[in-house]
């Protein structure tokens, strides 16, 4: 089934009109050339007749009447109309080819768009959770020494210092650790409700304490985006995630209202992409993805056994080409990382157990969030690739995590 795409209607009309104008011009030019040729032929015939009285007058008259040129002219006109019909046909055929397979007019575009977004994002991302007063120094180090360009912060989250992230980014740009803002991918989040610190001001217009509990969700979103722009010293945000606290998903309509407001920032170009965090409910994702206009690009979830390591969501993530951003990798799996299997695999590859789990996560198609505060570990983690582990070692590691079906056969 071919779904109509209203945005192409004007383009199709313009294409057909352009074709017709072009072919009409060609037709007129060919007809003009035919008339010139016919005139020259008549002159030649007349000259021949004047020099040869033996030619029958009716023959000369027939020639001068232009029977053949008339037939030629009709042939050109007929060809012109055939060409016009073919032009329309091929224009429509081109449109059908363009729409082929797009039962949902958004899915094809969405997959291509998300593929582009993935190319812009980091293979590994640097997270600033609980870096607190060292956030600026650690962000600068991650960019300068580790080569990280995808920086993750969060507005109005008790564990994040977004202003510190902005300061680290400013220093990195000032010190030429990165050439321009466009070379960075800045990610933040919107938190609708959190701890008591939430009621302290986060408006860029004032430094006094201002209660925000009475604001609507839409007002909170606008305030959050404005604050993040100021904190990160930027005129635009690459992605904003709607942040659900831990495993509890906010009420559906509340998220929709916030998302609708965030979509306006996308329309303006202030925010490029949107995403969700802490969503492990497949039914919710399917419904939400179907309902919203701007589709989520990133799904940021914990990599942990009590979330089934995202296995139930795997098909959905692939179908819509989402970026699965995995966090809590080391903290949530410390027993496995420090266990005998991880150590044995690490020894075989001459890497650290931490590199083993990051390589394993990459091999699943996920993007690991790295939070190391040392330059050595940042570089070690950046050196990891998804191809590091053999299939046999991937299976061993999945079994050590207690989730053998993590590795697909």
- With contact defined as beta carbons under 8 Å apart, do 246 and 278 qualify? yes
pLDDT at 229: 97
* Residue 60 pLDDT level (bands cut at 50, 70, 90): very low
Instruction: Check whether 260 has a pLDDT greater than 50.
Output: yes
In the chain, what percentage of residues exceed pLDDT 90?
62
pLDDT at 158: 86
Q: In the structure encoding, which two tokens stand for residue 164, read together?
A: 């510190």
pLDDT at 157: 86
- Output DSSP code: residue 215: S
Q: What is the largest CA-CA distance in the chain?
A: 116
Distance, CA of 39 to CA of 149 (rounded, Å) = 73
- With contact defined as beta carbons under 8 Å apart, do 274 and 241 qualify? yes
Region 305-310 average pLDDT: 94
Region 147-174 average pLDDT: 95
Dihedral of alpha carbons 394, 396, 398, 403, sign: positive
Average pLDDT along the chain: 80
**pLDDT for 213-247, tens place per residue?**
688 999 999 999 999 999 999 999 999 999 998 77
Question: Reduced to 3 states, what is the DSSP secondary structure of residue 150?
Answer: strand
DSSP symbols for 251-301: PHHHHHHHHHHHHHHHHHTSEEEEEEES---HHHHHHHHHH-SS---EEEE
* Residue 43 pLDDT level (bands cut at 50, 70, 90): low
- pTM for this structure? 0.71
Task: Look at the block and give the residue holding tokens 């949107």.
Answer: 274
Pick 90 or 159 by higher pLDDT. Answer: 159
* Residue 120 pLDDT level (bands cut at 50, 70, 90): confident
pLDDT at 4: 39
Stretch (H or E) spanning 327:
strand 323-327
Pick 390 or 28 by higher pLDDT. Answer: 390
Instruction: Check whether 301 has a pLDDT greater than 60.
Output: yes
Instruction: Check whether 52 has a pLDDT greater than 80.
Output: no
């Amino acid at each position: 089934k071919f779904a109509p795409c209203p945005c192409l209607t004007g383009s199709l009309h313009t294409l057909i009109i352009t074709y017709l104008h072009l072919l009409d011009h060609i037709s007129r030019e060919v007809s003009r050339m035919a008339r010139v040729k016919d005139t020259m032929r008549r002159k030649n015939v007349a000259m021949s007749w004047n020099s040869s009285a033996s030619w029958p007058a009716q023959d000369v008259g027939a020639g001068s009447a232009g029977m053949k040129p008339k037939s030629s002219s009709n042939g050109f006109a007929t060809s012109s109309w055939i060409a016009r019909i073919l032009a329309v046909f091929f224009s429509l055929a081109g449109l059908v080819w363009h729409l082929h397979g797009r039962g949902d007019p958004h899915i094809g575009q969405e997959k291509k768009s998300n593929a582009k977004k993935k190319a812009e994002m980091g293979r590994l991302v640097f997270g600033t959770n609980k870096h607190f007063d060292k956030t600026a120094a650690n962000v600068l180090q991650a960019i300068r020494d580790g080569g990280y360009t995808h920086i993750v912060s969060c507005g109005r989250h008790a564990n994040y210092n977004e202003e510190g992230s902005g300061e680290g980014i400013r220093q990195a740009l000032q010190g030429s650790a990165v050439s321009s803002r466009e070379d960075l991918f800045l990610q933040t989040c919107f938190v609708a409700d959190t701890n008591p610190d939430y009621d302290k001001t986060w408006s860029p217009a004032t430094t006094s304490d201002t209660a925000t509990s009475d604001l609507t969700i839409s007002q909170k979103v606008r305030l959050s985006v404005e604050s993040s722009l100021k904190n990160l010293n930027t005129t635009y945000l690459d992605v904003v995630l709607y942040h659900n606290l831990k495993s509890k998903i906010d009420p559906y309509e509340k998220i929709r209202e916030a998302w609708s407001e965030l979509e306006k920032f996308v329309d303006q170009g202030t925010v490029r992409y949107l995403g969700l965090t802490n969503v492990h409910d497949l039914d919710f994702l399917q419904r939400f993805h179907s309902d919203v206009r701007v589709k989520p690009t990133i799904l940021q979830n914990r990599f942990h056994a009590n979330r089934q390591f995202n296995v139930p969501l795997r098909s959905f993530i692939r179908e819509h080409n989402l970026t699965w951003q995995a966090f809590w990798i080391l903290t949530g799996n410390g027993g496995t990382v420090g266990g005998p299997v991880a150590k044995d695999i690490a020894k075989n590859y001459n890497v650290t157990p931490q590199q083993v789990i990051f390589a394993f996560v990459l091999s699943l198609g996920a993007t690991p969030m790295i939070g190391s505060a040392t330059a050595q570990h940042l570089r070690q983690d950046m050196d990891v690739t998804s191809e590091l582990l053999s299939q046999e070692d991937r299976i061993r590691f999945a079994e050590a995590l207690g989730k053998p079906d993590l590795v697909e056969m």
